[in-house]
Structure 1
Amino acid sequence: MRTLPKGDAAHRARHLLRETLTQAAVADDQIADAELVVAELATNAELHGRGPLEIRIGTVVQKPLWCEIVDSDPNLGDVPTLLANLRATARDTLPTLDIPLIPEASRGLLIAHRLSNGRCYAYRTRLCTSTTLGKAVAFALPMAATPPIPRQLTLVEADHDAR
């Protein structure tokens, strides 16, 4: 968990996320997508939430899986409903989601939804810095490409291959 500075939250969030994903060997194009999402969510938190702001990057066995942008305003507003509607629409008509029908103030959530493959959620949580009740808007992070596991040759195959 890191706090995000007022006025520079999006820039700092992008930097922290890029550093984490680069260390995890995530592909550059996937890092760029994740940076765009975290910048949109951090900007939304600065514009519509209350400080302090936090970024949390959840990892399992040193693999980043989840990113949250947290602010100290517990009011979720229409965010969960909008994200649920985007998920429902995507299941029904993924290619025909009409961007002009989405309010301009919510287009950052559309970007987060699209670039996280629909794995973007909003929920109440407590801030780490103060235990104040707030909200998180979170999204799934891209995974590093896993190299193929080398096939072990059995003795029979090894003998056959040597001939």
Structure 2
Amino acid sequence: MNLSSMPQADLQSVNVTVEGNGYYPALSTAYFIEHYAVAQEYASKSDLLVEKLKRAQGEINQELASAVLTNGESLNAQQVIFYNDAVYSKAKANLLVSKLGSTHRDSATAQSQAAIDNHEHWLRESINAMRLLQSLSSNLSVELL
């Protein structure tokens, strides 16, 4: 059961892996559904989840393009956690915006305000995770004069 007392989707049947580019890790729709409380109405739509993950992955990768996080080595465990959090949070925010268009008009105002608040929350989570990831860069240093 999920937070709304609805039966959860079978995570194994909807699990699709979104490959990383060799430097950044792969992503999983099952992990996204389970750890980011994806609504039941979207949990069984693996194509939609893959699209949101790929879009978020592309945006985060582009934002990190100028940051040298490691010296040619793969990301360490802590960096992987922050990277995943940045991508999944951005995908969750994008998924919430998608939900705004599918609500009924009679309750749209209240639902849209709640969704906007949640959207802003998940965008802040994504930005925070990216900042934490960038702060772990091996090339950042402070020089005392």
TM-score range, shorter chain: 0.3 to 0.5
- Taking structure 1 as the reference length, the TM-score comes to 0.31
- Taking structure 2 as the reference length, the TM-score comes to 0.34
Q: Which has the higher helix share?
A: 2
